[in-house]
DNA sequence: GTAATTGCAAAAGTTTTGCCCCATA
DNA sequence: TATGGGGCAAAACTTTTGCAATTAC
């Protein structure tokens, strides 16, 4: 595998955007190199994921989002405003222990988000 | 809203299938009434969800799955074999408290699955 | 007769595939 | 010159929309 300019741009875009869909990554990359095709972005994301440089997370509705694999964290997705917060994986350690004990289930906390309502949306709802 | 035959069939299908994608629901319904269009299934699922009779959950990759809203539970999705296990929502009570306290985040445990590796896949991996 | 509902077809959105050209070693 | 990579177009797949015909009240 060669780290071509396109792939580097995709990696940079993922790094800068934080959590981004392939579509968003593509737009970002095209800001620098307008001819880069979305097909290339998909292929690059797949490759970068195989290499362990990025990972994708299902935050809820619609497309998965990609982020760099440098700090593991658990996602808190607000299903009202769409904001993504992050908490340390240790937050789920206790739950993970429990699931392992009781169910034999080995939790991968980073692949799926926890869904709910964020602080500011709760404040708005409360009035 | 009228509970038309189509809508009843969709509800029945969701009930029987457990966790099913719109596509799977449609096939099931068409087993009984072959002319029912997938458009109708999508519309019925939306309606039934508004009424609180069904809810959808993102179990991981791809399409959301619908299930009847009669017992709330948390989903454990094995990303290896795709099996979906269920645990009581109380399992996450402590975590929910913590997130509420520390982040102001109100957890909705049922909308997204927890991802990981199930017992039998772990056994296989271990050898 | 009016309003809601359905089926069909088409559109829209996302992701994948096929193919040919180009760049690099 | 082999090999891998990229761009483009088209295909595949999922979901939504527009509309005319039908149904229920």
B59 shares its domain with B78: no
Task: Report the nucleotide nearest the CA of residue B63, measured to C1'.
Answer: D14
User: Do A58 and A18 sit in the same domain of this protein?
Assistant: yes
Radius of gyration of chain B (CA): 17
Q: Are residues B32 and B80 in the same domain?
A: no
Q: What is the pLDDT of residue A11?
A: 95
Q: What is the pLDDT of residues B4-37, one digit of tens each?
A: 999 999 999 999 998 899 999 999 999 999 999 9
- Given a contact cutoff of 8 angstroms between Cβ atoms, the answer to whether A81 and A120 are in contact is yes
User: How many Cα atoms are found within 13 Å in the side-chain-facing hemisphere of A49?
Assistant: 15
Of the residues A22, A49, A68, the one at which a domain ends: A68
Q: What is the pLDDT of residues B37-53, one digit of tens each?
A: 999 999 999 999 998 89
Bridge partners, residue B80, by sequence: none
Closest CA to A93 of A65, A72, A115, A64: A72
Residues A63 and A96 in one domain: no
Q: Same domain for A51 and A85? A: no
State the alpha helices, DSSP H only, in chain B: 5-17, 22-32, 38-50, 93-103, 119-126
Tell me the pairing of strands A73-78 and A114-117: parallel
Residue B84: pLDDT band (50, 70, 90) is confident
Nearest CA in chain B to A123: B104
If phi over 0 gives left and psi between -120 and 50 gives alpha, with beta otherwise, what is residue A62? left
Residue in A closest to B108 by C-alpha: A116
Q: Are residues B85 and B108 in the same domain?
A: yes
The CATH number that applies at residue A78 is 3.30.1490.190
**Whether residue B51 is found in the same domain as residue B88:** no
Q: Are residues A59 and A87 in the same domain?
A: no
For residue A126, name the pLDDT band (cuts at 50, 70, 90).
low
Please give the backbone phi and psi of residue A57, each rounded to the nearest 5 degrees, phi first: -135, 140
Last residue of a domain, one of B37, B68, B99: B68
B52 with B83, same domain? Answer: no
Report angle CA A66, A67, A72 to the nearest 5 degrees.
130
The CATH number of residue A46's host domain is 1.10.10.10
Query: Measured between alpha carbons, how far is B42 from B48 in angstroms, rounded to an integer?
Result: 10
Contact flag, residue A99 CB and nucleic strand C, below 7 A: no
- pLDDT tens digits, one per residue of A24-39: 999 999 999 999 999 9
pLDDT of residue B89 exceeding 60, the answer is: yes
Distance of CA B31 to the CA centre of its chain: 21
- From A43, A68, A93, the end of a domain falls on A68
Nearest to A112 among B85, B91, B112 (CB): B112
The predicted structure's pLDDT at residue B32: 92
> Is A118 among the annotated ligand-binding positions?
yes
Q: Which domain holds residue A19?
A: 5-68
- As for how many domains chain A has, the answer is 2
Q: Which nucleotide is nearest to A23 (CA to C1')?
A: C14
Q: Are residues A16 and A62 in the same domain?
A: yes
- Find the residue in A nearest to B117 (Cα): A106
Are the Cβ atoms of A60 and B111 closer than 8 angstroms? yes
Closest nucleotide relative to residue B62's CA, C1' based: D14
Q: In the beta sheet, which residues pair with residue B116? A: A107, B78
B118 is in an annotated binding site: yes
Q: Do B18 and B58 sit in the same domain of this protein?
A: yes
User: Do B45 and B91 fall into the same domain?
Assistant: no
* A78 marked among binding-site residues: yes
Dihedral angle, C-alpha A97, A102, A108, A110, nearest 10 °: -70
State the DSSP H helix or E strand holding residue A85, giving kind and residue range, or none if neither: strand A84-88
Residue B8 confidence (pLDDT): 94
Q: What is the pLDDT of residue A40?
A: 96
Compute the average pLDDT of residues A7-26: 93
pLDDT digits (tens, 9 = 90+) for A44-103: 999 999 988 998 888 766 678 898 877 678 888 887 777 788 888 899 999 999 999 999
Predicted confidence band at B127 (pLDDT cuts at 50, 70, 90)? Answer: low
pLDDT range class, residue B109, cuts 50, 70, 90: confident
Q: Is the pTM of this model over 0.85?
A: no
**How far is C-alpha A18 from the chain's CA centre?**
7
**pLDDT for B92 beyond 80:** yes
pLDDT value at position B26?
96
């Amino acid at each position: 595998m060669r780290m071509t300019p396109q792939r580097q741009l995709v990696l940079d875009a993922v790094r800068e955007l934080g959590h981004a869909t392939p579509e968003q990554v593509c737009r970002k990359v095209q800001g620098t190199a307008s001819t880069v095709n979305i097909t290339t972005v998909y292929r690059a994301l797949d490759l970068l994921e195989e290499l362990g440089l990025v990972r994708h997370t299902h935050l809820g509705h619609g497309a998965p989002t990609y982020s760099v694999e440098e700090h593991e964290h658990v996602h808190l997705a607000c299903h009202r405003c769409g904001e993504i917060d992050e908490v340390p994986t240790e937050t789920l350690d206790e739950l993970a222990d429990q699931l392992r004990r009781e169910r034999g289930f080995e939790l991968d906390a980073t692949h799926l988000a926890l869904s709910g309502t964020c602080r500011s949306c709760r404040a708005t709802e409360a009035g």
